[in-house]
Amino acid sequence: MPQLFSRVDDNHWLTPTIADILEQGSGLPLSESDIREQMNSLQTKLADLETPVKIIDILPTPSYTLFVAKPESVGRIGNRRTVTPNEIRKSIGQLAEENRQWKLGFMPVAPDNPDAIGILLRTDNHAPLNLRRLMLRNAYRDNPSTLAMILGNTLNQQLILHDLATLDGLLLIGTEGAKFHVLQNMIFLLTLLNTPSEIRIAVAGDSANALKPVLNVPHLLGKMMTEPEDGIKLIDGFIKEAERRRVGFSEANVTTLDAYNNYLRGNQKPSLPRIILVIDSVSDERWMQSKDRWIPLAQSLLEDGAKIGIHVIMTAAQLDNAHIPNRIQAKFPIKILSRNSAGKYPEKIENFHGSLMRFVDAFILIGEEATPIEVCAISQDELNRAITYWQNAIQSRKGETTPQTPVSGRTGVTQMLKMPTDARAQSIINQSVGLPSTVSSTTLQQARALCAYLGWVSMGALQDVLGLSTEEAKEVLSALKNSGIVENIDAPTLRFVRLADFK
């Protein structure tokens, strides 16, 4: 189970040990005697309502208990019949009214037993799903990919996993609170199991600020772009990056990022990170007004994104043509619908009763087939431990023995950009020391400003924006490293780490 232990990547970043970050979680919340008491109570109350059942199996989980029950017979001798699932359903509805401390759900057909029904029971003693316990499942432990995302658990206790490395994109539908919970879980797990050299996450959209806590880590690529205009430029920049990667693939005679990175390692060159672009949310009024501009770009970026290592996670309030045009929807093979945004899909699920919505957080939609899932919860302590780990990792790489002021995820917003142009230029000149003879002070001024604005820099950005040659870009990149403006490591994309001091 490689995902659960620390590992070192090609650039000497070390991932945390899962046991040091994630809480173990409590065991089953109810004792065997408590569960048996609930079983007897259910059987007695249903018999009193003339819908008797015999509970033949019990499946306890941390978040609820599933009682598998077989309907029994009612009526006088000679006129006896078996109660129907519909009659039991009505009785369970009455029990729910009489026992407000219980949350009850009804399954017309129990898992793996077509002759039985299922009764779900949740009490105040139950707790949300725990991420660490889900990671210990065989389905996850046996998955070799560090990009395997745990999306949730079905009501049949089946783990839903999807490998982001195989997906061009993922579409998440829901209102702010509901979809944020799912989105935060995905980002948290990806940054927990992958280093900043392996994945970089860029964020655009009006709702992006809500992600600042979970992205206060070195994986963040640049600043968060809340304005549509900046987001469109960001998407366009990734299209150019995608084209550069395709050119490299062609020269190396490979077709996927993994194969290309193997080629680069074989030639003693740093590998490329996967880039994850989060657009949250395209239902924002300003983004909807600009959709004629960003939709063609997003559609282009979603072409073979998995192969080139650029993936799009897009969110919207509703799954309709007005918020997400159909041609864009078709580019996402997997869609996640929050419970309140599922629309017609729960009605299409066979043997799914409305009372089960109490036990469901979202629906995984593949084609027209929807699967209800329960999503795990991540505590604030777990989030804080992960952020602290990566911030300390940054300090260690900078050679500092003790952490200083925490590195903010808002890497591109610095005092430099707020200064008048003349003062900013003079401040940069004052700090420019040891320049290579081929790099002018003006070029370095421009490069530093570019770093501060983007929050990152690469050879491609220097060439595209500043019009530098390959050799000039290498010299500027070296000067930026030596002066502490960006990370002093061998990586294709470097993070802006220098917060300039001004008098």
C-alpha to C-alpha distance for 455 and 210, rounded to whole angstroms: 19
| Domain regions of the chain by residue span | 2-25+129-384, 32-122, 412-495
Average pLDDT, the chain: 85
pLDDT digits (tens, 9 = 90+) for 485-498: 887 777 777 777 65
Segment 49-59 shows an average pLDDT of 95
Segment 441-446 shows an average pLDDT of 81
- Per-residue pLDDT, 58: 93
pLDDT digits (tens, 9 = 90+) for 335-363: 999 998 998 999 999 999 999 999 999 99
Segment 83-97 shows an average pLDDT of 93
Domain 2-25+129-384 has CATH 3.40.50.300: yes
Q: 353 near 359, Cβ under 8 Å? A: no
- Per-residue pLDDT, 27: 63
CATH of 412-495, one of 3.30.70, 1.10.10, 1.10.3470, 2.60.40: 1.10.10
Sheet of strand 310-316, all strands in order from the earlier edge strand to the far edge: 159-163, 148-154, 369-374, 362-366, 335-338, 169-173, 310-316, 274-279, 199-204
410 has pLDDT over 50: no
Residue 406 vs residue 350, higher pLDDT: 350
419 has pLDDT over 70: no
Max mean pLDDT among 11-15, 88-92, 428-432 falls in 88-92
Segment 88-111 shows an average pLDDT of 92
Q: For residue 106, what pLDDT band results from cuts at 50, 70 and 90? A: very high
Q: For residue 411, what pLDDT band results from cuts at 50, 70 and 90? A: very low
- Per-residue pLDDT, 148: 94
Structure tokens given for 116: 């039985």
2-25+129-384 and 32-122: identical CATH topology: no
Segment 439-456 shows an average pLDDT of 78
Poorest-confidence range of 46-50, 135-139, 255-259? 135-139
266 has pLDDT over 90: yes
Residues 6+ apart with CB under 8 A from 156: 111
- Per-residue pLDDT, 443: 84
* pTM of the full structure: 0.78
Segment 188-208 shows an average pLDDT of 93
The number of C-alpha atoms within 13 Å of 292 and in the hemisphere containing its C-beta is 1
Segment 284-310 shows an average pLDDT of 92
Phi-psi region of 491 (alpha: psi -120 to 50; beta: other; left: phi over 0): beta
Structure tokens given for 261: 């990175």
- State whether the Cα torsion 402-405-409-413 is positive or negative: negative
- Per-residue pLDDT, 18: 87
Q: For residue 499, what pLDDT band results from cuts at 50, 70 and 90? A: very low
CATH of 32-122, one of 3.30.980.40, 2.40.30.10, 3.40.50.11810, 3.40.630.10: 3.30.980.40
Percent of the chain at pLDDT > 70 equals 89
